[in-house]
Chain A
């Protein structure tokens, strides 16, 4: 069965370190998204991609970057982790803008 996975599921890091969160989907979806979820803020869009080599900034993109070298993967990189980036991160994919997003299981990141 097609699926979307994230790794690691839990990560503790220190301020200033570079961190990369992996997202892999086997739906063959063109669209992929990264969100962060914080209490009181819901799901906020960080970056998104509509296809290979396409990346776009969302509403909270500062301090984050993504790259899309193939259809299946959209890794999220925190260039220099800050305590404000402690959050739960969800990756999602969809077959198009007007179609269901399928979410990964989430990564809980703690920056100390």
Chain B
């Protein structure tokens, strides 16, 4: 099956700084790469996704980049705010396997 590795497991940044979370995957058939945000005690919710025919996608302060050759993709959050504090999960979809999550803390 798919193996999705996610780094770092924890990340602390100052408010206004950027945060980057990286994921690698093993299944070359994976063609859809979503990112989910999970606030404490809540359910995961999709924040951005990218398909294999696209190298980069942006949505306001959030962007995702994909390198299919190297089998890695990254989440970029710019101008971080305290409400960005949460656990973020990546996934690589041929089937649906998630990374182990990154706990992001934005320090005011």
**Total interface residues on A, using CB and 8 Å?**
21
- What distance in Å separates the Cβ of A80 from its nearest Cβ neighbour in chain B? 25
* CB neighbours of B49 from chain A (8 A): 100
Binding site for A on B (CB under 8 A): 1, 6, 31-32, 34, 36, 43-46, 49, 51, 89, 93-101
A48 with B95: CB separation less than 8 A: yes
B100 with A45: CB separation less than 8 A: no
Interface of B is mostly: strand
* CB neighbours of B1 from chain A (8 A): 59
Residue of B34, B44, B100 touching A41 (CB-CB under 8 A): B100
- What distance in Å separates the Cβ of B39 from its nearest Cβ neighbour in chain A? 12
A42 with B34: CB separation less than 8 A: no
- 5 A-B pairs (CB sep. < 8 Å): A40-B100, A43-B44, A43-B98, A43-B101, A59-B97
A103 with B100: CB separation less than 8 A: no
* CB neighbours of A97 from chain B (8 A): 32, 93-96
